[in-house]
Homo-oligomer: A and B are copies of this chain.
Amino acid sequence: MIYTDEFFMKEALKQARKAESIGEVPIGAVIVKDNKIIARAYNKREKIQSADAHAEMLAIRKACRSVGNWRLSGCTLYVTLEPCPMCAGAMINARIDRIVYGAPNPQSGACGTRLHLPEMNLLNHTPEICGGILQQDCAKLMNDFFKAVRKKKQKQ
Protein backbone atom coordinates (compact mmCIF):
# COMPACT_ATOMS: atom_id res chain seq x y z
CA MET A 1 0.00 0.00 0.00
CA ILE A 2 1.34 3.43 -0.92
CA TYR A 3 0.29 6.03 1.65
CA THR A 4 -0.06 9.33 -0.20
CA ASP A 5 -1.80 12.55 0.82
CA GLU A 6 -4.51 11.63 -1.71
CA PHE A 7 -5.02 8.27 0.01
CA PHE A 8 -5.73 9.88 3.39
CA MET A 9 -7.76 12.73 1.88
CA LYS A 10 -10.07 10.08 0.40
CA GLU A 11 -10.60 8.84 3.95
CA ALA A 12 -11.42 12.42 5.05
CA LEU A 13 -13.87 12.63 2.12
CA LYS A 14 -15.60 9.46 3.37
CA GLN A 15 -16.10 11.24 6.70
CA ALA A 16 -17.42 14.35 4.92
CA ARG A 17 -20.02 12.18 3.14
CA LYS A 18 -21.18 10.89 6.53
CA ALA A 19 -21.78 14.50 7.58
CA GLU A 20 -23.72 15.11 4.36
CA SER A 21 -25.89 12.03 4.96
CA ILE A 22 -27.20 13.54 8.22
CA GLY A 23 -27.73 17.03 6.77
CA GLU A 24 -24.55 18.61 8.17
CA VAL A 25 -22.18 20.80 6.12
CA PRO A 26 -20.03 18.05 4.54
CA ILE A 27 -16.60 18.40 6.14
CA GLY A 28 -14.52 15.42 7.25
CA ALA A 29 -11.12 14.92 8.87
CA VAL A 30 -8.66 12.18 9.76
CA ILE A 31 -5.48 12.29 11.84
CA VAL A 32 -2.55 10.10 10.81
CA LYS A 33 0.49 8.99 12.78
CA ASP A 34 3.13 6.62 11.33
CA ASN A 35 0.87 6.00 8.31
CA LYS A 36 -1.96 4.85 10.60
CA ILE A 37 -5.28 6.68 11.02
CA ILE A 38 -5.66 7.32 14.76
CA ALA A 39 -8.85 9.47 14.54
CA ARG A 40 -11.72 10.02 12.12
CA ALA A 41 -14.50 12.58 12.52
CA TYR A 42 -17.05 14.66 10.66
CA ASN A 43 -18.84 17.91 11.29
CA LYS A 44 -21.66 17.50 13.83
CA ARG A 45 -22.44 21.12 14.71
CA GLU A 46 -26.19 20.85 14.16
CA LYS A 47 -26.55 17.34 15.59
CA ILE A 48 -24.69 18.12 18.84
CA GLN A 49 -25.67 21.84 18.81
CA SER A 50 -22.17 22.81 19.87
CA ALA A 51 -20.18 25.62 18.26
CA ASP A 52 -16.97 23.61 18.52
CA ALA A 53 -18.23 20.41 16.91
CA HIS A 54 -16.23 20.91 13.69
CA ALA A 55 -14.71 17.77 12.13
CA GLU A 56 -11.15 18.82 13.04
CA MET A 57 -11.93 19.51 16.72
CA LEU A 58 -13.70 16.18 17.15
CA ALA A 59 -10.77 14.42 15.42
CA ILE A 60 -8.20 16.21 17.62
CA ARG A 61 -10.08 15.21 20.77
CA LYS A 62 -10.24 11.59 19.59
CA ALA A 63 -6.53 11.57 18.66
CA CYS A 64 -5.55 12.97 22.09
CA ARG A 65 -7.56 10.18 23.72
CA SER A 66 -5.93 7.65 21.39
CA VAL A 67 -2.33 8.66 22.24
CA GLY A 68 -3.13 9.67 25.85
CA ASN A 69 -1.45 13.04 25.40
CA TRP A 70 -2.53 16.56 24.46
CA ARG A 71 0.56 16.77 22.26
CA LEU A 72 0.00 15.33 18.79
CA SER A 73 3.60 15.69 17.61
CA GLY A 74 4.36 13.48 14.62
CA CYS A 75 0.76 13.69 13.40
CA THR A 76 -0.74 14.96 10.14
CA LEU A 77 -4.33 16.21 10.04
CA TYR A 78 -6.24 15.81 6.76
CA VAL A 79 -9.41 17.87 6.32
CA THR A 80 -11.60 18.42 3.27
CA LEU A 81 -11.96 22.21 3.85
CA GLU A 82 -9.30 24.74 4.89
CA PRO A 83 -9.57 25.07 8.70
CA CYS A 84 -11.18 28.07 10.43
CA PRO A 85 -9.21 29.99 13.13
CA MET A 86 -10.62 27.82 15.94
CA CYS A 87 -9.51 24.59 14.26
CA ALA A 88 -6.15 25.89 12.99
CA GLY A 89 -5.51 27.29 16.48
CA ALA A 90 -6.30 23.90 18.02
CA MET A 91 -3.84 22.23 15.63
CA ILE A 92 -1.11 24.66 16.72
CA ASN A 93 -2.01 24.09 20.39
CA ALA A 94 -1.76 20.33 19.78
CA ARG A 95 1.64 20.76 18.05
CA ILE A 96 0.41 18.91 14.95
CA ASP A 97 3.26 18.59 12.38
CA ARG A 98 1.35 18.90 9.11
CA ILE A 99 -2.03 20.25 8.04
CA VAL A 100 -3.31 19.00 4.69
CA TYR A 101 -6.56 20.42 3.34
CA GLY A 102 -8.68 20.00 0.24
CA ALA A 103 -10.67 23.08 -0.78
CA PRO A 104 -9.84 26.64 0.28
CA ASN A 105 -12.29 28.38 2.64
CA PRO A 106 -12.95 31.94 1.40
CA GLN A 107 -15.19 32.76 4.39
CA SER A 108 -12.90 31.95 7.31
CA GLY A 109 -9.86 29.98 6.06
CA ALA A 110 -7.01 30.42 8.55
CA CYS A 111 -4.27 28.57 6.65
CA GLY A 112 -3.62 31.12 3.93
CA THR A 113 -6.96 32.43 2.62
CA ARG A 114 -8.37 34.91 5.21
CA LEU A 115 -5.30 34.74 7.46
CA HIS A 116 -2.34 32.43 7.96
CA LEU A 117 -2.15 31.34 11.60
CA PRO A 118 0.45 28.56 11.15
CA GLU A 119 3.08 30.92 9.74
CA MET A 120 2.78 33.26 12.76
CA ASN A 121 4.98 30.85 14.77
CA LEU A 122 2.64 31.03 17.77
CA LEU A 123 3.90 28.91 20.70
CA ASN A 124 7.15 28.48 18.72
CA HIS A 125 5.36 25.97 16.51
CA THR A 126 4.93 26.19 12.75
CA PRO A 127 2.96 23.32 11.22
CA GLU A 128 3.65 22.60 7.55
CA ILE A 129 0.67 23.44 5.33
CA CYS A 130 -0.36 21.65 2.14
CA GLY A 131 -3.57 22.81 0.45
CA GLY A 132 -5.45 21.72 -2.68
CA ILE A 133 -5.29 17.92 -2.24
CA LEU A 134 -8.31 16.47 -4.11
CA GLN A 135 -9.55 20.05 -4.17
CA GLN A 136 -12.20 19.49 -6.86
CA ASP A 137 -13.81 16.54 -5.05
CA CYS A 138 -13.82 18.43 -1.74
CA ALA A 139 -15.20 21.63 -3.26
CA LYS A 140 -17.87 19.77 -5.28
CA LEU A 141 -19.21 18.14 -2.12
CA MET A 142 -19.59 21.58 -0.49
CA ASN A 143 -21.04 23.27 -3.59
CA ASP A 144 -23.60 20.49 -4.15
CA PHE A 145 -24.64 20.69 -0.49
CA PHE A 146 -25.24 24.46 -0.55
CA LYS A 147 -26.97 24.25 -3.95
CA ALA A 148 -29.42 21.74 -2.44
CA VAL A 149 -29.95 23.95 0.63
CA ARG A 150 -30.77 26.97 -1.60
CA LYS A 151 -33.16 24.88 -3.72
CA LYS A 152 -34.96 23.67 -0.60
CA LYS A 153 -35.27 27.25 0.69
CA GLN A 154 -36.69 28.46 -2.66
CA LYS A 155 -39.40 25.78 -2.52
CA GLN A 156 -40.48 26.87 1.00
Contact residue among B61, B89, B114 (Cβ-Cβ distance under 8 Å from A50): B61
Interface size in chain A (residues, C-beta < 8 A): 39
Greatest chain B CB density within 10 A among A52, A68, A87 is at A52
Interface membership of A88, Cβ < 8 A: yes
- Contact status of A64 and B89, CB under 8 A, knowing A70-B45, A70-B46, A108-B122: no
> With the chains together, A69 CA to B108 CA distance in Å?
21
Type the 1/0 row for A38-52, where 1 means its CB is closer than 8 Å to any CB of B: 000000011011111
Interface membership of A90, Cβ < 8 A: yes
- Contact status of A89 and B84, CB under 8 A, knowing A70-B45, A122-B107, A123-B107: yes
Interface membership of A93, Cβ < 8 A: yes
A69 x B85 contact (CB < 8 A): no
Contacts of A94 in B (CB 8 A): 51-52
Contacts of A87 in B (CB 8 A): 86, 89
A interface residues with partner B (beta carbon < 8 Å): 45-46, 48-54, 57, 60-61, 64-65, 68-72, 84-90, 92-95, 107-108, 110, 114-115, 117, 120, 122-123
